């Protein structure tokens, strides 16, 4: 399918640079079948049924953005070339795959000094241009990142303002427990303990899984056709007990609603042809485009996505491209806030009786 079919114009003022405060004060566009409704995140219990289950990603964002210099000193003690790195995917305890800025100035075998006593060796350059970085020393890499790293805000935010201390909390969900993500599962940023209490009181269940979101989620689709795009792999886990409970939800007539495209992609990766979810631990590079048959989920809560992005392709696969084009046009006209710190959408492919 042609990538330009997923293009749309978005005024820059619609891009949110800060989240709503409090988190659950954000707006929520509901797309139910072909019907579009304006609501708020706090209205979520009214749009779900007793027995439905929301599935959250419990990954925790690490300060994976690093700025440094190529190791060693040049003439008269000058620092080496400036190098930026965004960690993307863990290889082992000391090595990470990273996207590198100013990569043409970095050669395999050279060291990058990130300051604060943090150094990494450019061990290998991969076919996609990224590097394997091996961190020096014995301290856990997570401690090194806490000293030298910053939160890896998406480029559409970082390009318009600097990262600050507020982002350490703002760019982390209330479910974050397992270190490893370099991007937040942003749909879950809207949730608060009070909203969870209201959902439970309405008979809605919750489950968690883990998908460590990689920086590849922000990479543009450079191919002209979706068949030619290659997704970066991300690591995820669904425990056996979680899979069993999710299967029971559907067996009892409830719906499995993924909170965020990260949860959705892992659930679909772990689903059999008959829709049963099985335990999962490993990499997934699933790429969902129109024509995909969803097996594991019955709906999705997500934020608004970039034009021509794999995530806009995913929501178009779920709801239909024309429906999502209409929904996004409505959201832009109604001044919804877009992207990671923006408002939410609730996507329910089939119309449901909420009084059931």
Q: For 65-148, which CATH class?
A: mainly beta
pLDDT of residue 6: 94
- Residue 116 backbone class (left: φ over 0; alpha: ψ -120 to 50; beta: rest): left
Mapping DSSP to helix (H, G, I), strand (E, B) and coil, where does residue 103 land?
Answer: helix
pLDDT band for position 253 (cuts 50, 70, 90)? very high
Q: Give the tens place of pLDDT for each residue, 216-231.
A: 666 678 888 888 888 8
Alpha helices in the chain (DSSP H): 44-47, 141-148, 155-158, 165-170, 193-201, 240-251, 261-269, 310-319, 321-333
Q: Which of 336, 335, 337, 294 is nearest to 316 (CA)?
A: 294
Q: How many residues does the chain have?
A: 356
The answer to whether the 3-61+167-348 and 65-148 domains have the same CATH topology is: no
Give the tens place of pLDDT for each residue, 96-125. Answer: 999 999 999 999 999 999 999 999 999 999
CATH classification (class only), 3-61+167-348? alpha beta
- Name the E strands within the chain: 27-32, 35-40, 53-57, 59-61, 65-70, 82-90, 95-101, 111-113, 119-125, 131-135, 178-181, 205-211, 234-238, 256-259, 280-284, 299-303, 344-348
Q: What is the pTM of this model?
A: 0.90
User: Hey, where are the domains in the chain?
Assistant: 3-61+167-348, 65-148
């Amino acid at each position: 399918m042609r990538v330009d079919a997923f293009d749309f114009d978005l005024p820059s003022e619609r891009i949110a640079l800060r989240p709503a405060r409090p988190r659950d004060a954000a707006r929520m566009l509901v797309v139910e079948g072909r019907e579009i409704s304006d609501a708020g995140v706090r209205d979520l219990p009214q749009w779900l049924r007793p027995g439905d289950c929301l599935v959250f990603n419990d990954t925790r964002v690490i300060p994976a953005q690093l700025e440094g210099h190529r190791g060693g000193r040049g003439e008269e003690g000058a620092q080496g070339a400036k190098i930026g790195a965004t960690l993307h995917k863990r290889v082992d305890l000391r090595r990470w795959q990273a996207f590198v800025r100013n990569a043409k100035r970095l050669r395999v075998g050279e060291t990058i000094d990130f300051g604060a006593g943090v150094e990494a060796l450019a061990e290998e350059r991969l076919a996609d241009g990224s590097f394997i970085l091996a961190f020096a020393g014995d301290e856990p890499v997570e401690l090194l990142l806490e000293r030298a790293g910053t939160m890896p805000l998406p480029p559409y935010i970082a390009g318009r303002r600097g990262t600050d201390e507020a982002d350490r909390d703002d760019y982390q969900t209330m479910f974050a427990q397992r270190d490893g993500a370099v991007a937040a599962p942003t749909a879950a940023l809207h949730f608060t303990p009070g909203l969870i209490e209201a959902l439970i009181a309405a008979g809605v269940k919750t489950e968690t899984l883990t998908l460590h979101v990689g920086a590849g989620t922000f990479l543009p689709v450079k191919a002209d056709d979706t068949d030619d795009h290659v997704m970066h792999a991300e690591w995820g886990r669904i425990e056996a007990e979680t899979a069993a409970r999710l299967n029971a939800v559907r067996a009892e007539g409830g719906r499995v609603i993924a909170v965020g495209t990260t949860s959705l992609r892992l659930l679909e990766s772990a689903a059999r042809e008959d829709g049963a979810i099985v335990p999962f631990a490993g990499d997934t590079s699933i790429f969902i485009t129109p024509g995909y048959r969803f097996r594991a989920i019955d709906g999705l809560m997500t934020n608004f996505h970039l034009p021509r992005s794999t995530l806009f392709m995913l929501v178009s696969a779920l709801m239909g491209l024309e429906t999502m084009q209409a929904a996004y046009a409505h959201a832009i006209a109604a001044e919804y806030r877009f992207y990671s710190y923006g408002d939410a959408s609730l996507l329910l492919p089939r119309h449901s009786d909420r009084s059931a």
